[in-house]
Structure 1
Amino acid sequence: MSCCRYRKKDMVGFPAGVKFDPTDQELIEHLESKVMKRAHSLIDDFIPTIEGEDGICYTHPEKLPGVTRNGQSKHFFHRPSKAYTTGTRKRRKIHAETELSNSKNGAETRWHKTGKTRPLMVGGQHKGCKKILVLYINFGKTRKAEKTNWVMHQYHLGDLEDEKEGELIVSKVFYQTQPRQTAAATTSTVLREPSTNGNMEVKMPKSMKIGLTDHAVAAAAAIQMQRQQQQLLKQGDEGKEGQDQLQQKFDHRPAGLEGLIMACKSASTKEGTSTTQPEDEQWPYQY
């Protein structure tokens, strides 16, 4: 593998803080301009070209020029190659010489596609496609393959799901440093409810997280109505008639905290009796 026209410099000629962070649509336009021989005069400083038949997938990302683990993306023009002389399968296995530590343990490092190929629209036209790959360490039959934090976004022109043999494509490589934030990832959910002794925090255990979102909305509404009741009760004799009407209304529904606990217990019971299979494990990182 060789890399042409790559300059080891830190954005010489540009002020500090300038970064190259194009959108998917802009990358497709840069790729199209490169193919059409009308690329920007400085594009090679930002997207170097990887030459050779082995392609970018033959080398571990840490050994690609300019790639680090700081979360910043690096972009490369390159041409994919087939894994075998027959068939259409692309070469995505890291060469053993560039991954000696894993090869000694009988493991291999390989890029695996995740999700579906996505169309990229520019100005209402289907200009190209995008696919996402994640780097795995495979241990054969000894144990389950491990996901790494290395991610690659590949872009090619046209409306076909896969790029053609030898076609110029552009890839964005980066090391994912931040996990995706999800509601299920939180260790506990805290709701605040007023009381006679001041504010009170109610921490819900992990076992009650299932279905909490919908019930928390209902509980919040109950808490709000409880606040209104307390305000009316403080108005004295002047609001006696309104108090009686409001009290009758609340006599037929549980208080905010009680309603929340009942809702969560109901959700927990439904979960215990459900026969549906658990969803597949999701990749906890943003792509």
Structure 2
Amino acid sequence: MGGASDLPPGFHFFPSDEELVVHFLRHKASLLPCQPDIVPTILLNHYDPWELNDKALQAGNQWYFFSHATQSRVTPNGYWSSICADEMVKSSGCNIGLKKTLVFSIGEPSEGIETNWIMHEYHLLDGRKESNNWVICRVFDSTCGSQANFHEEGMELSCLDEVFLSLDDYDEVSLSNN
């Protein structure tokens, strides 16, 4: 499997929603090559989110992969369920895709315990309806850095970064109390 290591030094894989749909999902659905060809195809139902290492493309604290669109998102130990309304993905003012946000729960459907694992599942639109059976997914642990921070502030924080930053805050409080 290809991966982020296939990118030239200094390059990082942190695409926007529009880039995921236009440059990756549209190519996959049209059977066109993706350049670079680094996003693997996996069967979503075969893996729990913590099993994505070495199977999906890891970029920071996020994992990316193509999968077949499916109604059943049951995995060996849980299931993915929608947690909010779908969002439109736009390019040049036109709706080109649909972004579904799902949360992973451990256990049986409707009886499970929600985790901090979040998945954004992107679908192509043909006019105003979903088209073909391919999706591209971005999965991340919402307690381990913030996916929104990277896109809004130009940086991504890992779990360790957040721990070190919290230690800096602790040092400042300790110094001001002395």
The TM-score normalised by the length of structure 1 is 0.43
**In the alignment, structure 1 residue 27 sits paired with structure 2 residue 20:** yes
Q: In 2, are the aligned partners of 1:48 and 1:76 still within 8 Å (CA)? A: yes
1:40 corresponds to which of 22, 34, 40: 34
TM-superposed deviation, 1:116: 0.5
Matched residue of 2:45: which SS? helix
**In the alignment, structure 1 residue 168 sits paired with structure 2 residue 134:** yes
Task: Give structure 2 stretches of 5+ with no counterpart.
Answer: 149-178
Partner of 2:62: 73
Q: Deviations over 1:34-73 (max 9, x none)?
A: 222333332x22x1112xxxx3134212222436999621
Partner of 2:73: 92
TM-superposed deviation, 1:26: 0.4
TM-superposed deviation, 1:80: 2.4
Q: In 1, are the aligned partners of 2:12 and 2:59 still within 8 Å (CA)? A: no
**Which segments of structure 1 move beyond 6 Å, counting only runs of 4 or more?**
none
**Hey, what's the Cα distance between the residues in 2 that align with 1:31 and 1:91?**
20
Q: CA RMSD in A?
A: 3.0
Q: In 1, are the aligned partners of 2:13 and 2:59 still within 8 Å (CA)? A: no
Q: Deviations over 1:156-199 (max 9, x none)?
A: 11133xx56x611111111221479xxxxxxxxxxxxxxxxxxx
Kindly provide the amino acid, as one letter, of the partner of residue 63 in structure 2.
Answer: K
The number of residues matched between the two structures is 142
TM-superposed deviation, 1:112: 1.0
User: Which of the two has greater helix per residue?
Assistant: 1
Matched residue of 1:115: which SS? coil
**Hey, what's the Cα distance between the residues in 2 that align with 1:68 and 1:48?**
7
The TM-score normalised by the length of structure 2 is 0.67
Q: Where do 1:206-217 residues align within 5 Å?
A: none
**Hey, what's the Cα distance between the residues in 1 that align with 2:4 and 2:96?**
32
Q: Sequence identity of aligned pairs in percent?
A: 27
**Bigger relative CO (Cα 8 Å, ≥ 6 apart):** 2
